[in-house]
Amino acid sequence: MIKGVLFDMDGVLVDSEEYIAKAAVEMFRREGVEVKEEDFIPFVGSGEDRYLGGVAEKYNHTIDINEAKEKTYNIYGEMVEGNLSPLSGVVAFIDKAKSKGLKLAVATSADRIKMDINLKNIGISGDTFDATVNGLEVELKKPFPDIFKLAAKKIGLKPEECLVVEDAVSGVEAAKSAGAKCLGLITSFTGEELAQADWISNTLADAPDECLEW
């Protein structure tokens, strides 16, 4: 029986992919390396270490990952100020889950600073959730199940009692590996690519009732 919902952040609660990609391109530009936004697509959902590190490897460019992240987040924070809003259906879905007495958590591969920037800019307080987990809290990122196992543990549940809401292939794989049920949102990948999910919808606005009623 469902007792909790674990939300990925990017592509689920907010669409910030455009901005983090632009911020990363600008960070590399300031490093003297011209990269493209599409270079980052293979690393979506895997955390900023891999997101930036993977592209650096592609261009044979050595970076100090912590310094690179700090620079990218500074650029990102300026870019998104006043430009982010919750994705369609997010607030209503959260309210519906709360009305059913379900516990809620955010489980994002992003670092805490990006999680905090996003939640602040979409007007959803961190207090909305019973717990949060960010990429700095787990060594093995998605597609490994560690982040969802930790999120479930933080809200006092087993992964098998949780619905994970994800938009990335690696996230869906992580959810299923953890033993959770999964709702896949086709905000970043196609339904075919997210076929491992138990349910698939365009956004949380048209999520099937069954995903909160098993």
The set of residues, in sequence order, having a beta carbon less than 8 Å from that of 190 and lying 6+ positions away, is none
Q: Are 19 and 3 in contact (CB under 8 A)?
A: no
Tell me the two tokens of residue 195: 């076929």
Tell me the two tokens of residue 36: 């493209």
Which of 10, 130, 146, 198 is flagged as catalytic? Answer: 10
In the residue annotation, 49 being an active-site residue is answered as: no
| Ranges assigned E (strand) in 146-197 | 162-166, 181-185
- 184 three-state secondary structure: strand
The set of residues, in sequence order, having a beta carbon less than 8 Å from that of 151 and lying 6+ positions away, is 6, 105, 106, 107, 131, 133, 162
Residue in 151, 196, 205 with CA at minimum distance from that of residue 6: 151
Task: DSSP letter for 22, please.
Answer: H
In the residue annotation, 10 being an active-site residue is answered as: yes
Task: DSSP letter for 202, please.
Answer: S
Tell me the two tokens of residue 209: 């009732």
Task: DSSP letter for 86, please.
Answer: B
As annotated, the active-site residues are: 8, 10
